[in-house]
Chain A
Amino acid sequence: MRFAKIDWALAGVLAAMAIGVTACGSSSSTSSSSVPTSIGSGEGQLNLVAWEGYAQPEWVKPFEASTGCQVHAKYAGSSDEMVTLMRQGGGSTYDMVSASGDASLRLISGGNVAAMNVALVPEWKNFIPQLQSPSHNTVNGVHYGISLQWGPNVLLYNSSKVKPAPTSWESIYNPKYKGAVTVPANPIQIADAALYLSKTQPSLGITDPYELTESQLNAAVALLKQQRPLVKKYWTAAADEVELFKNGDAVIGAAWPLQTNNLQAAKVAVNELIPTQGATGWADTWMLSAHAKHPNCAYKWVNWVSTPKVQAEQAISFGETPANTKACPFMEQIKQGSCVKYHANAPSAYFESIKFWKTPVKDCGNGKTDCTDYSVWQKKWTEITA
């Protein structure tokens, strides 16, 4: 069976990682042996796999002008797609990927990405401590990429049609909005349902929305199957959701802050919020392909996007929080109040409150291995949406 094979493969990954932990425990300095120690001259080109809105002309054009590296960005709609794109053509088609936490470990354990030398990225020292060596991109002290930005998945609603303003994720499961709900076409959406259930049905005992036993997963799947008749469309690209809200086909849904920004710029009456149950979210990393053809341009790129000014530009453009703590004043320069709005100076408690995307694995983190892994999630998601 296809799925049984995936189970074994993931178990293999975990075993390999466990061995790696014990083997490399004493010698964490081996990391610098295979990484470059200086950045050479650019190769004239850089091919990126990125989230929509991560390669805006606003900061790509000046980068191209100053380095001579022509940027070609391919937008991907999900972490699964990113992993696939980075594996295509032997892994040399794309140089870098803006991987979220649920893709980064898959890329590392698949050997698709290379270790990076953080010493070549001076701004790295100014990152918030949680994003300097986070477990989703740093394994045994080896850095597989440079953190970028982070943020929550929000509840987006049409403020002229949804009254009173929603406060809970309950709204996207409420028959009141039948045929006007939109959620991402992405198996990781199961975690959103699990997060909601963890607060509304404590008896299920969900502590981490990415670590679900079979019965917990079934509860989340049942909720999503109940939601399915309410859903107008499962969106695959941010632009799709924007159009659904523009034309009145959807009035409420799960979104990224990018959509809110685009809709408000188009004068559509929408608002976003983090509901009372909290939110899932992403912490993205620029990762370098193990077979990158343009590594110097790649290092130049991570340096460029780590600078406080570009960090500020991207944060405001997408509606997320920069990793670089020095970005705040630049954000204020671009837009008054944006530093507070996008939590660039928020205490670490805010960071801890977001349940960041990660790949579900069998290991529940409590010594038990009865959790459902991602291949099971994908299978269930097909069942829900088919």
Chain B
Amino acid sequence: MNAAARTHASAALYRRPWLRAALLLSAPSGWFVLIYLGALFLLFLSALWSVDAFSGKVVHSWTLANFETLIKVPAYRTIALRTIGIAAAVTVTDILLAVPFAFFAARIAPKRLQAALFVAVLIPLWSSYLVRVFAWRLILAKDGILNWFLGNIGLGSLNIGYSNWAMWIVFSYIWLPFMILPVWAAIERVPDSFLEASADLGAHGWRSFRLVLLPLILPGIVAGSIFTFSLTLGDFITPTLVGGAGSTFIGNVVYQEVGISNNVPFAAAFATVPLVVMGIYLLIARRLGAFEAL
């Protein structure tokens, strides 16, 4: 390309800002459409197929049989409701833990302590997810650290290893940083003068929190809840490792259908359930202004 042509091209691009933007964004948006939306589209598509039990091959003819099974067999309903229920419980728990912590860290703690707390929140994320789950398995086991400790202080023992209680504790622990960080950021953004004004007008403590702070940090809480809720909804490792009899999650069924029963279409059909749940959740979150806090 000679100098004149180069000048010409650059002039053409200068005159047409939309062309510049399109060229700049074509690679990332192409990737997004192909890899990300393409995979989602294939997921929905294969949910409408079925598997020939004799050969184990996918039959490419349209059927709603997979969704019919999902609705008709009570076991799958139980599993879906359990998954959503525990995801909700984990989210609520993390909100209750994160708000006071973030309030203390953002408004009360001195600068030096603030930095230390920030590192403390992030440190668990440096180690592998699996290591942390296995650690909890050892803590909660019948002859584990928790019961050893409770026994030593004379409180008897808890039999919560391999149960839904264990899953609730482990999920709440694992996803807590993802709740603390957006809430922290939201609390930091509230100007001191707002709380001072509220106090001057006679609203103390709880009332200031409820009427002034909470509405202002709600988008942060909702943003954090998107993480905790969706991450729990899609997990299958924690239920496998610390869950007991009757701790099957949607993810476990998907994993079994693909890896053990060789029924990818049914797995795809069940995988659309958390997608739909998350879709509804995100719509509500948007109404609450969560995306402004991300």
Contacts and interface: CB of A to CB of B under 8 A. Distances in A.
Contact of B76 (A81, A228, A249, A386): A386
A20 interface: no
Contact of A233 (B50, B66, B245, B263): B245
A375 B78 contact: no
B292 interface: no
A46 interface: no
A282 to B, nearest CB: 17
A78 B256 CA distance: 11
A111 B56 CA distance: 11
A382 B56 contact: no
B162 A232 contact: yes
B248 interface: yes
Contacts of A6: 53
A2 B50 contact: yes
Given A84-B56, A244-B162, 13 more contacts: A2-B266, A81-B260, A83-B56, A83-B262, A110-B54, A232-B245, A247-B141, A375-B53, A382-B73, A382-B76, A383-B73, A383-B74, A386-B76
A5 B53 contact: yes
Interface stretch (A8-16, A27-35, A343-351): A8-16
A386 B78 contact: yes
A80 interface: yes
Pairs A-B, 9 closest by C-beta atoms: A386-B75, A247-B141, A9-B54, A6-B53, A84-B262, A231-B245, A9-B53, A248-B142, A248-B143
Contacts of B69: 1-2
Contact of B162 (A13, A229, A233, A386): A233
16 contacts: A1-B69, A2-B69, A6-B53, A9-B52, A87-B56, A87-B262, A110-B56, A111-B55, A234-B245, A247-B138, A248-B141, A249-B141, A249-B142, A375-B53, A382-B76, A386-B248
A2 B69 CA distance: 8
A88 interface: yes
A385 B261 contact: no
B250 to A, nearest CB: 11
A247 B144 contact: yes
A378 B161 contact: no
Interface residues of A, number: 39
Interface in B58-76: 65-66, 68-69, 73-76
Contacts of B68: 1
Nearest to B144: A247
Contacts of A228: 245-246
B278 interface: no
Interface in B143-174: 143-144, 159, 161-162
A171 to B, nearest CB: 17
A10 B245 contact: no
B259 interface: yes
B79 interface: yes
A275 interface: no
Interface of B: 50, 52-56, 65-66, 68-69, 73-76, 78-79, 137-138, 141-144, 159, 161-162, 240, 243-246, 248, 259-263, 266
A179 interface: yes
Contacts of B75: 382-383, 386
Contacts of A83: 56, 262
A76 to B, nearest CB: 9
A150 B142 CA distance: 34
Interface string A274-297: 000000000000000000000000
Contacts of B244: 231-233
A299 B142 CA distance: 47
B161 A249 contact: yes
A5 B73 CA distance: 16
B166 to A, nearest CB: 11
A80 to B, nearest CB: 5
Nearest to A231: B245
A78 B261 CA distance: 10
Contact of A110 (B55, B78, B143): B55
B284 to A, nearest CB: 28
A1 B65 contact: yes
A228 B161 CA distance: 16
A234 B50 CA distance: 28
Interface in A73-92: 77-78, 80-81, 83-84, 87-88
Nearest to A16: B54
A84 B260 contact: yes
Contacts of B246: 228, 385-386
Given A2-B65, A233-B244, A386-B75, A247 B261 contact: no
Contact of A13 (B54, B79, B245, B248): B54
Most B Cβ at <10 Å: residue of A10, A77, A232, A386: A386
B65 A179 contact: no
Contacts of B56: 83-84, 87, 110
Contacts of B54: 9-10, 12-13, 109-110
B161 A2 contact: no
Contacts of A385: 245-246, 248
Given A9-B53, A12-B54, A378-B261, A249 B162 contact: yes
Contacts of B248: 385-386
A244 B263 CA distance: 30
Given A87-B56, A228-B245, A232-B244, A2 B142 contact: no
